[in-house]
Amino acid sequence: MAYGCAADAVDEYLRLGESTAISCLEKLLDKGEERGFPGMIGSIDCMHWEWKNCPTAWKGQYTRGSGKPTIVLEAVASYDLWIWHAFFGPPGTLNDINVLDRSPVFDDILQGKAPKVKYFVNGRRYNLAYYLTDGIYPDWATFIQSIQMPESEKAILFAQRQEAARKDVERAFGVLQARFAIVKNPALIWDKEKIGKIMRACLILHNMIVEDERAGYTQYDVDSFTQLEATRTSQVDLTYETDRPTNIGNLMGIRNSIRDQTKHDQLKADLVEHLWNKFGTNPNYGL
């Protein structure tokens, strides 16, 4: 998920086995289901890091409007603020959609290397996990946004739950900047490659701290995950996609399934019903 490759491809240098990667994915799906979003594996957004000493020749490329030069970080964060995907380097003139067009976040799906995911929402089966986003992201099958100006009680509940869960990535950015002042303050280095190494180092240290804090999980947390495993509707196969794209036609077919607006609308409508059935009698439960 972090590098757009098969789970066992990192065995040699990260010492992270395939079964461990699958287990992590299952935990993400379990937590998403507990919060009312089956099939959700995190929230995605972008953060800008000001580049004070941006070379003069590049300032027009990295400056939006009358602001200051910035470099963009795209990240996916989970419920515990672990950053699963990071893409750093696009110039600050790009918005979230332009960054997404350059991002490798869906490369594992496009290349047929992603684990197979199956889950049910409102009695309907889905096969693509999704991220929670803000309103700028497109209506793809892999993105679920909130509802602007909700009117019905069901829509209001959905917007409340979606916006609460989507804050995970915003909180991750806030914690990252609070922990590492070098990321919060403008970058003073001229070399963009060195700035990228600093950002990656901060992200790695951030995840190490999050992982260390997981050691403080209580028995309640363990029992909660155990109970979810027994009742989950989401499933992750231990095998990977076998129909890897062999030509541009197959690749475009997978790309179209990711960007399927009809599937997005259906999933969003099913999630509205699912959340109402799950939390309608107690809308503030778990928030």
Total count of residues recorded for the chain: 287
Q: Work out the burial of residue 234: count CB atoms within 10 Å of its CB; fewer than 13 is exposed, 13-18 middle, 19 or more buried.
A: buried
In angstroms, rounded to a whole number, what is the distance separating the alpha carbons of residues 90 and 98?
9
pLDDT attached to residue 63: 93
Per-residue model confidence (pLDDT) at position 239 = 52
Over the chain, what HEC string results?
A: CCCCCCHHHHHHHHCCCHHHHHHHHHHHHHHHHHCCCCCEEEEEEEEEEEECCCCHHHHHHHCCCCCCCEEEEEEEECCCCCEEEEEEEEECCCCHHHHHHHCCCCHHHHCCCCEEEEEEECCEEECCCEEECCCCCCCCCCEECCCCCCCCHHHHHHHHHHHHHHHHHHHHHHHHHHHCHHHHCCECCCCHHHHHHHHHHHHHHHHHHHHHHHHHCCHHHHHHHHHHHHHCCCEEEEEECCCCCCCHHHHHHHHHHHCCHHHHHHHHHHHHHHHHHHHCCCCCCCC
pLDDT, residue 223, reads: 53
**Can you give the pLDDT at residue 14?**
42
Identify the weakest region by mean pLDDT among 3-17, 53-67, 118-132.
Answer: 3-17
The pLDDT assigned to 7 comes to: 41
Q: Quickly tell me which residue has 């757009």 as its tokens.
A: 4
CA separation (Å) from 33 to 13, 29, 79, 159, 201?
Answer: 32, 6, 12, 16, 32
- Residue 136 has a CB neighbour count (10 Å cut-off) of 12
In the numeric block, which tokens belong to residue 126? 């889905």
Per-residue pLDDT reduced to its tens digit, 18-64: 555 667 778 888 888 889 899 999 999 999 999 999 999 999 999 98
The model's confidence at residue 5, banded by pLDDT at 50, 70 and 90, is very low
Q: Which two tokens stand for residue 122?
A: 């409102």
pLDDT computed for residue 15 by the predictor: 45
Rounded to an integer, what distance in angstroms lies between the CA atom of residue 37 and that of residue 51?
Answer: 37
Tell which wins on pLDDT, 220 or 96.
96
Per-residue pLDDT of 135-160, as tens digits, reads 999 999 999 999 999 989 999 999 99
pLDDT at 78: 92
